[in-house]
Structure formats: C-alpha cells, structure tokens
Structure 1
Amino acid sequence: MEMKKKVALTCALTGSGDSHLKHPNVPKSPKEIAAAAVEATKAGASVVHMHVRDPKTGDPCRELELYQETVRLIRDADVDVCINITTGMGGDWTPDKENPLMPGPGSDMITPAERMEHILRCRPEICTLDCGSINWGQNLLYIATYEQLRESAKLIQGTGVTPEIEAFDLGFMWQASDLLKEGLLPKNTMFQLCVGIPYGVKSTTLAVAAMRDLVPEGHHWAGFGIGREEFPMLALMYLMGGNVRVGLEDNIYISKGEFATNGQLVEKGKSIVESLGGSIMTPQEARDAFGLIKQKPQFKEVSINRQ
C-alpha cells in the first residue's frame, strides 16, 4: 500500500438526506452552513463540501440563491478554505405506482445545464460529478446517463472548477475513464470513492482496493464510509494512499448515541491520520497539490434574507 504523509481532509457539512430529522443541529440555513464551514476549517479541514437546504423545513433543495448566499458567507468569513459543491441534485426518479412510465412523488429531474448553473455562478474550487446511475434506496433511482455526463463535463470545461468524480460503484470509474479519454475532463480531475451506500460498493477492504486500482494513473483520489464505518474507512483510505473525508453528511454521531458537530468529526479524523504518522494539508496546500483555483464568484443579483 502506498501511504502519503500529508493528505487533504474534506468535511461534508450537511448532505442531501433526511439527517435533519434525526439530528437536531444539522445545519440548514445559509448562515448555519457557513458557520459549520468555519467550524470545520478551524478544526483542521482542508476542504468543505456543501449542499443547501430549505432554511424553514431543513429539506434538501437546489435553489441557486441559497448556494450563492452560502458561498458568499463562507468567502466573507475569517477563514480560508477550499469549497466543494455538489451537482448531484436534480437526478432523482421514483416511478409512479399506477403508471411506471411517469414520475411519482419524490422525483426531481432537471437538465445537465440546470444541474450546473450554481457551479457556473459560485465558482468553487471543486464540484462533484456523480458519474453514473444507481438505485438510491428501495424505490428511488439516481439517473446520470453517459450522454448527460458528457454534457455536464463540457459545461465544467473552461470554468476553472476542478471536477471530483463521485464513484458509488465500479462502473462509475469506467465512465469517468472514458470521459477522460474523450478529453472532456481536465488532467487534474479528482476521484472520490463513496463506499457503504446502498446499493453501491460495500465497505470492505477488497472493494475499496478494486476501486482504488481503477483510479487513472496520475489522478488524486479520496474516499469515505458512512455511519459507524466513517472512521474505520478513513483509516483504510489513508493507509491505501488516499485523501479522507468526514462530516454530518456521512455520519451524525461522534460516539454511540452522542450527536456530533462537524468540528468534532474533523478533529477526530485529523487525530486518526496523525496517529498513523500523517498530517493534514492546509487549504492552500490542497490548492497547490491538486491544481485548484480560488476564483471570484459570478453571482446574479439577488436579494434574499434567509438566516
């Protein structure tokens, strides 16, 4: 195993699931998400990964104005951190029970251009690209056809934003490799191995090794596990030569029955890496290592007040 001494640690702040129904302090509003980003950065995170939520209900959403406001608050804060923003919203399909050809409740399908609009405006250092389709639970499908991925990759080109391939299964790695061969992804494209999420790759050493071996030569990669497997997988990813990730998107507990904060998860993840002989990159070291560009956002003029 190839073990790097210094790695980037990403904190996934809130996610797009129903964790707000399980944890009373999952960040919801732009102000709360930005505060979580500051907390995670001060605890040692190199990168923060963000989704947005409806500030009133806490439900996942994809409003451009909320992304803009959250990014503005993070950039205006008294910390420097690399921002990584999802593009995974707007690909959910649930078949209607009476007519499976039609979308049922919970479906949310939009075009690749709509999935990318907030990236073109907010200009984070990194944006995710979920590189394939997957059964997302019992009756929910996440759809990203290869042609949609080609269009998404083309939209990212020229923005200066580095794509991070979110790989939930081995086929995701295959599709990303083909996009690279077509010249649709930049040379500094990153890979994130997402394990333990039904129904993708299980959290086993063999599965992680298989995915790692499919990372194209010369490309940086990271990985994470979810729930109780978050920290064992962090140690495994580090020992296998990858960068690491923690955060309330992946796990809401710091110990059995005790709710975590993002800062606590970062501190614990950092301590594990350090106990194994490694250290965590600063945000600027991550930019230098991965060829990331800190840009000025290109915000639309909006006027909202959602605290």
Structure 2
Amino acid sequence: MASKKQSSLLPTQPDEIAASVYASYKEGAAVAALHARRPDDGATCNADIYRDINGRIRDCCDIIINNSTGGGSSGDMLVERPDGLFESSFEERLKGCEAGAEMATFDGMTFVDVHGGREICVITPPSRCETLVQRMTDRGIKPEWEVFSPTHILQDVTRLIQKGYDKPPYYINMVLGADKGFQGAMPYSHDILAAMIAALPPQSIFCVSAIGAAQLPATTQAMLLGGHVRVGLEDNLYYSRGQLATNEQLVARTRRIATELGIDIASSAEAREILGLSTPNS
C-alpha cells in the first residue's frame, strides 16, 4: 500500500527489491515476502514481474521466496464498481501463484480496505478460498496463511486445513494493528495476540507481523512466546518516530533483539527444514 511518495527508501522495482532482499538476507532474513509493482509503482501480481524479481533474488542468495496473492491498493489490482466502490481483482491475485515461488500468502478474508480515500472491497468467499489454495497446491506452493483476527483462524483457515489443502506444520502469520484501515482487523495488544495463538490449529507454527508503531512490540512479544516474525516496509516505514527505515535496518534490529534474548536466528536452510520445504530448484 505504501508508495515512493511516502518513503524514497521503499523498493518497488525488480532491481531495487532484489538488492533490498539481499541486504536483508545478509542481516539474517530467511524468508522474503514480496509484493510486485509495475514500472509506474502501481501494485500488481503480474507473473512476469514476479519472475524477474524472483530470478534476481535467486541469482544472489538462497532466501525463501514468498510471493503475495494479496495484491495491493493500486495499479492492476483495482476494479472500479458501478456503486463507486473499488474491488480488488481476484483474477489478478491468482497470478501471484504463477512465478515459481516456494511460498505464497493466502489472503482468504473478505473485508473493506480504506486507503487513499477509497473503500476497496477484498472479496474472498469460501469458493474463492478453495480456488486460491488449490492453485497453490497444484503448483507445490506452501501457503502462508494470513489472518487478521481469531475469526480468520477459526473459519476458513481451519476449514481448509481440515480438508487437506496443506501439510503440517501449518505456517500462520498473524497481522495486527491494521484495524484503522481493514474492516474486521484487530489492534495489537498482549491479550489479543495470546488469544490468537490459543486459536491456532494443532501442528501450527506462527509468525507475527504488525502495522506501524505496533511492529516492534508485537514482534518482540512474538519471539518471547516462541513464534517467528516478519518485519519490513510492507508493514512499517519507520525505524523510530520521524526516521524512515530500510528493510535491512528493521531486520538487523530484530536480529539484535533476538540475540539479546538468547534466541537463535534460522538460516534459510534451517527455515526450510522448519517449514518442510525442499531446497530451491530441487
């Protein structure tokens, strides 16, 4: 959702994204959660652009590549409806599965994203959820189940896992602090995070990401609770109040915090073992 107008440090083009991923990899990142952009910086899930990004990354490191099927709030993703609302194109979102990534985000929610003065409907009813996860299954892609509330865990994620659309361990990323923009999303608090962890299906491992100022406390708490974490400019543009960040700075800070807490950082190879992934190109 963020743009270059908000931060000149935001990588949006394939060469910029690959360079930022490699810098983050050197700081300890094991997984790269990627969002593609058009040359004009508009959001897209265009498979050719994802292939370009993925290839540049694979040429320099073995980080796990995770392409988004969530799309974004601009560019190819938006369809204007007769009622004045905008809708996130489901057909465009599916293209995020077509570029050879090892993982892809499963955004199975139906909600309204209020962004840039627009109300954007993200419509993923049960039938579309099955279409999306089946596309991942057919291509050997591990879903990263994205959830914004306990309801998201208890409804479609658990239903689809029970139907056999994923193999354990189930990797569930809890996104907190998006409540000011996403209808139905939850704010970050210790109690809310604990409740969401308690709602996880058996044989799950969890990751926590959080929006804006919630990113640092939420991810630190997640590490203390035995979880994994996602940091970066998708969720938070700032290192501290008024100081814009780079992805690699946020990764490096997380690594330092983990080290001080006595927590080991997984390499990409170790992360593949944790997630049950094969090695790249095998």
Instruction: State yes or no: 1:160 paired with 2:137.
Output: no
Residue pair 1:132, 1:146 contacting (<8 A) in 2 also: no
1:194 alignment partner, SS class: strand
Instruction: State yes or no: 1:187 paired with 2:168.
Output: yes
Question: Which AA in structure 2 matches 1:129?
Answer: F
Question: Which AA in structure 2 matches 1:115?
Answer: R
Instruction: State yes or no: 1:68 paired with 2:68.
Output: no
1:66 alignment partner, SS class: helix
1:268-279 alignment runs, 5 A limit: 268-279=253-264
Instruction: State yes or no: 1:205 paired with 2:190.
Output: yes
Partner Cα distance (2:157, 2:96) in 1: 22
RMSD, aligned α-carbons:
2.1
The runs of 5 or more residues in structure 1 that have no matched partner are 1-16, 298-307
Residue pair 1:93, 1:142 contacting (<8 A) in 2 also: no
| Large movers: runs of 4+ above 4 Å | 90-96
Partner Cα distance (1:85, 1:63) in 2: 11
Partner Cα distance (1:141, 1:154) in 2: 22
Partner Cα distance (1:70, 1:93) in 2: 22
Aligned position for 2:70? 88
Instruction: State yes or no: 1:177 paired with 2:155.
Output: no
How high is the sequence identity, in percent, across the aligned residues?
28
Question: Which AA in structure 1 matches 2:178?
Answer: I
Farther-moved stretch of structure 1 (210-219 vs 132-141): 132-141
Farther-moved stretch of structure 1 (247-256 vs 130-139): 130-139
The runs of 5 or more residues in structure 2 that have no matched partner are none
Partner Cα distance (1:263, 1:93) in 2: 30
1:252-267 alignment runs, 5 A limit: 252-267=237-252
State the Cα distance separating 1:159 from its structure 2 match. Answer: 2.5
Residue pair 1:123, 1:295 contacting (<8 A) in 2 also: no
Partner Cα distance (2:150, 2:267) in 1: 31
State the Cα distance separating 1:68 from its structure 2 match. Answer: 0.8
Aligned position for 2:230? 245
TM-score (norm: length of structure 2): 0.89
Partner Cα distance (1:118, 1:132) in 2: 16
Aligned position for 1:32? 16
Aligned position for 1:8? none
TM-score (norm: length of structure 1): 0.82
Query: Per the alignment, do residues 158 and 64 of structure 1 end up closer, same or farther by CA in structure 2, a change over 3 Å counting?
Result: closer
Residue pair 1:38, 1:74 contacting (<8 A) in 2 also: yes
Aligned position for 2:104? 127
Instruction: State yes or no: 1:228 paired with 2:208.
Output: no
2:204 alignment partner, SS class: coil
1:42-121 alignment runs, 5 A limit: 42-55=26-39, 57-77=40-60, 79-89=61-71, 96=81, 99-100=82-83, 104=84, 106-111=86-91, 114-120=92-98
Residue pair 1:161, 1:293 contacting (<8 A) in 2 also: no
State the Cα distance separating 1:52 from its structure 2 match. Answer: 0.8
Query: Per the alignment, do residues 75 and 223 of structure 1 end up closer, same or farther by CA in structure 2, a change over 3 Å counting?
Result: same
State the Cα distance separating 1:81 from its structure 2 match. Answer: 0.7
Question: Which AA in structure 2 matches 1:206?
Answer: D
Residue pair 1:124, 1:295 contacting (<8 A) in 2 also: no
- Number of positions where the alignment pairs a residue of Structure 1 with one of Structure 2: 271
State the Cα distance separating 1:109 from its structure 2 match. Answer: 1.8
* Larger relative contact order, structure 1 or 2 (CA cutoff 8 Å, min sep 6): 1
